[in-house]
Amino acid sequence: MDKKGLIIIISGPSGVGKTTITHKILDKISGVRQCITCTTRSRRPDEKDGVDYYFVDDTTFTGLINDNQLAEWAVINGYKYGTPKPEIEKIASSGNDAVLVIDVQGAKSIKSLYPSALSIFIKPPSIDVLKERLESRGEKDRVDMRLDRVKTELEQAQGYDYVLVNDTLDKVVASLKQIIEKARSQKL
């Protein structure tokens, strides 16, 4: 009988380091694959289509919604983000663990579709540190909008299986690795 992989949700405020942490985990644990999400936002210089996101226009995104191809989707900071159902199923049914880097709204949708999904919320060490991280991205015009969402997002942390503080990258990655390994051992 084929063993289905875990579905792992990683959420937290914009700029908290979700993508960086996920990339480190992908390097440290075999059998973990990131589920690539779709977005209508523009590609940043260091991002690649089909690797970091599927960058699509609004019409394409709306078509995915209408065709019921997204497990979750939301409008965040003026852009649409969504996770393709086939992507999740393909990874998990192959026996690999599917990591979804999504916002708090999306996490609720995923938990309703996949109740056994493992959910981890990443918190910043402080709002000031988060603000510095956001400003360093070169998107100063969107920093205030992103910071406005933080309080609401932090309030959602209590609904997650685990909450980690990203004060030191190596420490948070090591903690996440332990959590995933524990969940795998409990699933056996």
Contact, 123 vs 172, CB < 8 A? no
* Total-model pTM: 0.87
pLDDT tens sequence across 98-112: 999 998 989 999 999
For residue 1, being part of any structural domain is answered with no
For residue 79, being part of any structural domain is answered with yes
pLDDT tens sequence across 51-66: 889 999 999 999 999 9
Domain holding 52: CATH number?
Answer: 3.40.50.300
User: Does 182 score more than 80 pLDDT?
Assistant: yes
In terms of Cβ atoms closer than 10 Å to its own Cβ (0-12, 13-18, 19+), residue 9 is: buried
Round the CA-based radius of gyration of the chain to a whole number and report it.
16
CB within 8 Å of 47: residues ≥ 6 apart: 53, 55
Q: How many domains does the chain have?
A: 1
Range of the domain at 41: 7-187
For residue 101, being part of any structural domain is answered with yes
C-alpha to C-alpha distance for 23 and 34, rounded to whole angstroms: 8
For residue 135, being part of any structural domain is answered with yes
The amino acid at residue 112 is S
